[in-house]
Amino acid sequence: MRLVVTEEQEELRGALRRFFADKSPGAEVRRLMESTTGYDPAVWVQMAEQLGLQGLAIPEEHGGSGFGVRELVIVLEEMGRALVCAPYFSTVVLAATALQASGDESAQRDLLPGIADGATIATLAWTENDRWDLESITMTARRSGDGWILDGTKTYVLDGHIAGLVLVAARTPLGLSLFAVDGDAPGLSRTPLPVLDQTRKLARLDFAAVPARLAGTEGGAEAVLARTLDIAAVGLAAEQLGGAQVSLDMTVEYAKVRHQFGRPIGSFQAIKHRCADMFVQVESARSAVLQAAATADEDPGELPVAAALAKAFCSDAYFHTAGESIQIHGGIGFTWEHDAHLYFKRAKSSQELFGPPAHHRSRLADLVGL
């Protein structure tokens, strides 16, 4: 299994870093996190037209570039570094992955090109009752002529308040199934939720006899969603890695320039040890992400193990690193004006997103037979 980053991938990383440095500086992040939509439509179009990011991991026959998870995690790591406010994770990592995993060629032909060219913002709605596992899904779907009708509620739907396409997990007499719903469908009510991390928007979706289209086969969505959520766990781990790296970098830089008792605080042994521990956490997280991305591309049968490990470790690594960053920065680290708190809030919210580390460690133990 190849774990080395190629020259082409490093070129992609460099282009992304320059783009996000220009389009997502701290002031712009703060502006967008206070807005209702949570993103800049002009930048979203540029991401699609100039960099092809929305179609990066979508097959060429559907308007994409046909790259794999390795390239996708580079994009997500750089987005995590810059705290990019955009519906990319919901659209590309969740919705596009679910459509590809569904095996429904008709739905892919109809829906993936709009995602690839940036015209469609999409999301995946599956969580209910504050739980992230598939077993907790109780939402029902019933036939209505040639289509389906959905009733129920979904919570913590990423970018659910603006998505033009919502993929919904619901149960039919044959089991768990996946449905495509228009964002403006009659009977669909969308309510933005208060969030700790304002850079990532969440919504509650209420379905009252909402018309839907089956995506995939009736009763066949469990494997589809399992694959999608494993990819999402790897993608989120990559985001966490990017944020943890920035937390480390800003802390080391501050330790070099902040003087106390006539010396840089970075010269004190206690600060050295804490920075060294942060470095170990970040580099270990990097290894977990690289291994999980390579597994997704080359050995999908082992993906559940790699995804659970990456999500559990990177969640704790990011939260630890962001917390240490605030502590070492001292009083300024607690102020609204400093960016440290933005990374700390993202670290805590992403730690809980898709299940806390304990959930993934328990899953990992079950998968390896412990």
pLDDT tens figures, 91-124: 999 999 999 999 999 999 999 999 999 999 999 9
User: For 159-173, what is each residue's pLDDT tens digit?
Assistant: 999 999 999 999 999
| Class of the domain covering 222-367 | mainly alpha
pLDDT surpassing 70 at residue 367: yes
- In the three-class reduction of DSSP (H, G, I as helix; E, B as strand; rest coil), residue 353 is classed as coil
pLDDT surpassing 70 at residue 2: no
Share of the chain above pLDDT 70, in %: 99
Residue 244 CA to residue 6 CA, distance in Å, equals 22
Length of the chain: 370
Q: Which of 179-193, 278-292, 330-344 has the lowest mean pLDDT?
A: 330-344
Query: What stretch(es) of the chain map to CATH 2.40.110.10?
Result: 122-220
Runs of H (alpha helix) within 258-333: 269-298, 303-329
* pLDDT confidence tier of residue 334, bands split at 50, 70 and 90: confident
The conformational region for residue 302 under phi > 0 = left, psi -120 to 50 = alpha, else beta, is: alpha
User: For 209-234, what is each residue's pLDDT tens digit?
Assistant: 999 999 999 999 999 999 999 999 99
- DSSP for 191-258? EE---S-TTS-EEEEEEEEEEEEE-S-TT-HHHHHHHHHHHHHHHHHHHHHHHHHHHHHHHHHHHHH-
pLDDT surpassing 70 at residue 1: no
Report pLDDT for 266: 84
- In the three-class reduction of DSSP (H, G, I as helix; E, B as strand; rest coil), residue 260 is classed as strand
What is the mean predicted confidence (pLDDT) over 318-325? Answer: 97
Q: Looking at the domain 122-220, which fold is it?
A: Butyryl-CoA Dehydrogenase, subunit A; domain 2 (2.40.110)
Query: What stretch(es) of the chain map to CATH 1.20.140.10?
Result: 222-367
Which CATH architecture fits 7-88? Orthogonal Bundle (1.10)
What is the mean predicted confidence (pLDDT) over 40-48? Answer: 97
Query: What stretch(es) of the chain map to CATH 1.10.540.10?
Result: 7-88
Q: Amino acid letter at 7?
A: E
In sequence order, which residues have a C-beta less than 8 Å from that of residue 357 and are 6 or more positions away?
Answer: 311, 312, 313, 315, 316, 351
* pLDDT confidence tier of residue 313, bands split at 50, 70 and 90: very high
What is the mean predicted confidence (pLDDT) over 317-346? Answer: 92
Report pLDDT for 215: 96
User: For 177-206, what is each residue's pLDDT tens digit?
Assistant: 999 999 999 999 999 999 999 999 999 999
Structure-token match 């902040």, residue found: 258
167 closest CA partner among 129, 119, 215, 116: 215
User: For 74-100, what is each residue's pLDDT tens digit?
Assistant: 999 999 999 999 999 999 999 999 999
Share of the chain above pLDDT 90, in %: 89
Each residue of 266-292: b (16+ CB within 10 Å) or e? beeeebeebbeebeebbeebbebbbbb
- Return the structure tokens found at 143: 């036939």
Average pLDDT, the chain: 95
Helix (H) or strand (E) holding 74: helix 69-82
